[in-house]
Amino acid sequence: MLFPDYRPRRMRQTEAFRRMIRETKLSTDDLIYPLFAVHGKGIENPIPSMPGQFQLSIDNLAKTAKKTHALGIPAVILFGIPGKKDPLGTEAYAKDGIVQKAVKAVKNAAPELAVITDVCLCQYTDHGHCGILNGKTVDNDASIEVISQVALSHAKAGADMVAPSDMMDGRVAEIRDLFDENGFSHIPIMSYSAKYCSAYYGPFRQAADSAPKFGDRRAYQMDPANAVEAIREAMMDVEEGADIIMIKPALPYLDIICRIREEIDLPIAAYHVSGEYAMIKAAEKMGFLDGPRVMMETLIAIKRAGADMILTYFAPEAAAALGA
């Protein structure tokens, strides 16, 4: 169709017309809110690099969960900051660990709010890597044995879903088998399938105190230059029993979201990470852009690329805007 027979501006003239032909719909149902839990009481530590986000003690986490549910957001994902770290990250799978306590508190405060738990060791190990070390190398097979125990401890605490983020080979199958053997075959797995070794994670590492003490994570997280490998990673997780496939980060990897969407018919999640959030907040503070509009445009772009759900620190703000 060519001008003058086709005039696309006709359907852009009014907000009613624009709503009628809008191809991508963003809903509160698409949002998952990440929360950081710490030991103690009455704690609400601001995260300097992530304005509006906090490390929360269990009591304040429960209050935040209630507010999150009241906004219509269907789920949260919990990250824990332990009281003590060690080489094996033992608090990650302790019965009285911070995430295990947080899960119970959130489920008591807001029973209908879905509680997802991040499953990894980086916050809990004194070396800051996502697995068990053999010298200065992360031992893949030793790590998945521990990581699967972390996931099982979360399920026992009452988590509705687990999300392994360590990027060890074979961990989804290990978790699935352990769940099936222990009566948790009903618990879904959201796998961080294509988790890139990204500089966009900087603010999160401050929030979760999870930066590696030596080296980096290039030996297990994905090379930002690779796309076909992401499809292989996702396919492997599907075969191992994942229920949701996640891509992280989101905005710099919209092409990966799109390509995996074309290859896989499972639900796809995208993590709009801390650095993406921080950049928008910083630019808004400087008066360089309209923060709320950029927030919504960004989330719509992630959805348009093919994500079914978005993990984002903007979840409360976006939910409020969508409900306005």
Would you state the structure tokens that stand for residue 86, as one six-digit string?
């060690």
- The H or E element that residue 251 is part of is none
CA angle 71, 74, 75 (to 5 degrees): 115
Active site residue 248: yes
Strand partners, 189: 162
Rounded to whole angstroms, how far apart are CA atoms 166 and 163?
Answer: 9
What are the distances in angstroms from CA 155 to CA 130, 165, 184, 191? 20, 16, 7, 15
Q: Where are the beta strands (DSSP E) in 112-267?
A: 114-119, 132-134, 137-139, 161-164, 190-195, 244-248
| Contact status, residue 222 vs residue 197, Cβ threshold 8 Å | yes
Cα 283 from chain centroid (whole Å):
23
What gap in Å lies between CA 120 and CA 78, rounded to an integer? 11
* CB of 120 closer than 8 Å to CB of 157: no
**Which entry of 85, 248, 281, 303 is annotated as an active-site residue?**
248
Question: Catalytic site residue 67?
Answer: no
Of 195, 213, 281, 285, which residue is the catalytic one?
195
Q: Which residues are catalytic?
A: 195, 248
